[in-house]
Amino acid sequence: MQRVSRIAKVLRVLRRTFHQRTGKRRLDLNQIEHRIICSFYRKIAADLGLNAYDIGRVHCIAGHGKSFRIWGCTTEFDTYPLYGITEDKVLVKKLFRDRGIPVPEGRAFQWNDRSAGIEYALSLGRPCVAKPASDTSSGKGVTADMTTRREIAHAFRFAGLFAPQVLVEEFVPGDNYRFLIYKGKCLSVLRRELPAVIGNGSSTVRDLVKDENRNRIQHSDWRDGDPLWMPLPINSGALRHLKRQGIEWRSVPRLGEQVYLAGESSYGFGCTYTEVLGKTHAGQISAAEDAARLVGMTVAGVDIVSPDIEAAAFNILEINISPGLEAHYVIRNPEDLTDPIRTILTDFFEIDGTGLVG
């Protein structure tokens, strides 16, 4: 038994190494996000008459006897205790459930207890999700919409590369939304649209993806790291998701048929964003604000899945510290921009004389 356990640990390390090596081909999203978000902070700070400068990799904004610093997506509002709470997805689910906030049904299992995790997933009797139970973000290690034993086994093993426990929970159908909360008030709601291509009746899925990626990088508005122009995935994860839809790379979708390349909406997967705060049901906004207050967060990104953003039905998937604010500026409908960075800086530096969000 001990020998089997040692072999499992060695294989886990080897799989991690393979994942890291193949992942080097991807863009360095952390650096890109930091650069883009700082560009927005810098512009808005200048509009507000504040001074913006860099100290090494930290972007600083000063004025009115105060200073505000940004490192990556981390700001003055983020603390280690909050990281400790929000990175424990099992704890957060329990906090929300005890408060009466809807969350998907699920349980956590040790990374090497795959058999129990698989049996639990199958017992749900519906599609499921496997994800690291802690210490990850941006969709790392997450596999969604699984139904077969083989899919679940692969997803459980993959999630177990990134955390000591794997969270297995029901897959809740619907669109994915990011609610941005500041001091208990919702400033923005983004619909995060899955990476997809639309069939033309003659091209294969692979050719459609290549054409779309070529169009994105050649577009006159292209900027490195802008979510609207991030490349769509062409990898084994995308192929697995295609197979769940009963198609492959060489399949030819019908005219107008939408083909999804991932089951998770993530900045690095080529997903896009639409601002929908004005359409969002008051009950969903209230729940997201309540979730942020419950954890004690000044700035929070609350992830919600809902079949209809204008209705009351929803589930909270998780809550995120250091949410990437740049996504709220690179939206498909810029006429509905809510400008959350301006609201935060105006409040932090008490520029309106009240120090409160209106």
Structure confidence at residue 185 (pLDDT): 98
Question: What pLDDT was estimated at residue 269?
Answer: 64
With CA atoms as reference, report the closest residue to 160 among 171, 170, 152, 150.
152
pLDDT of residue 233: 78
* Burial classification of residue 49, based on how many CB atoms lie within 10 Å of its CB (0-12 exposed, 13-18 middle, 19 or more buried): exposed
- Assess whether pLDDT exceeds 90 at residue 261: no
For domain 105-171, give the CATH superfamily.
Answer: ATP-grasp fold, A domain (3.30.1490.20)
* C-alpha to C-alpha distance for 300 and 82, rounded to whole angstroms: 10
Q: What CA–CA distance (Å, rounded) separates 27 from 270?
A: 12
d(C-alpha 235, C-alpha 26), whole Å: 11
- Which residue did the predictor score with more confidence, 22 or 190? 190
Instruction: Quote the pLDDT of residue 41.
Output: 95
Q: Please report the pLDDT score of residue 18 as a whole number.
A: 66
Structural domain spans, the chain: 105-171, 195-262
Q: Express each pLDDT in 291-322 by its tens digit.
A: 999 999 999 999 999 999 999 999 999 999 99
Residue 32 reports pLDDT greater than 80: no
Q: Which pLDDT band, with edges at 50, 70 and 90, does 1 fall under?
A: low
Task: Say what the pLDDT of residue 358 is.
Answer: 42
Q: 3-state DSSP call for residue 272?
A: strand
Beta strands in the chain (DSSP E): 51-55, 58-63, 66-71, 74-75, 106-110, 128-132, 143-146, 165-170, 175-182, 185-193, 196-198, 258-260, 272-275, 299-306, 315-320
Residue carrying the six token digits 């393979």: 18
Q: Which residue has the higher pLDDT, 301 or 243?
A: 301
Closest by alpha carbon to 290, among 103, 96, 125, 113? Answer: 96
pLDDT tens digits along 186-240: 999 999 988 888 899 999 999 998 888 888 777 666 665 565 667 787 877 788 7
**% of residues, the chain, pLDDT over 70:** 87
| pLDDT recorded at residue 356 | 42
User: Is the four-CA dihedral 186, 321, 25, 57 of positive or negative sign?
Assistant: positive
**Range in 10-24, 70-84, 125-139, 240-254 the model is least confident about:** 10-24
Tell me which residue of 147, 184, 157 sits closest to 299, measured CA to CA.
184
Average pLDDT of the residues in 155-171: 92
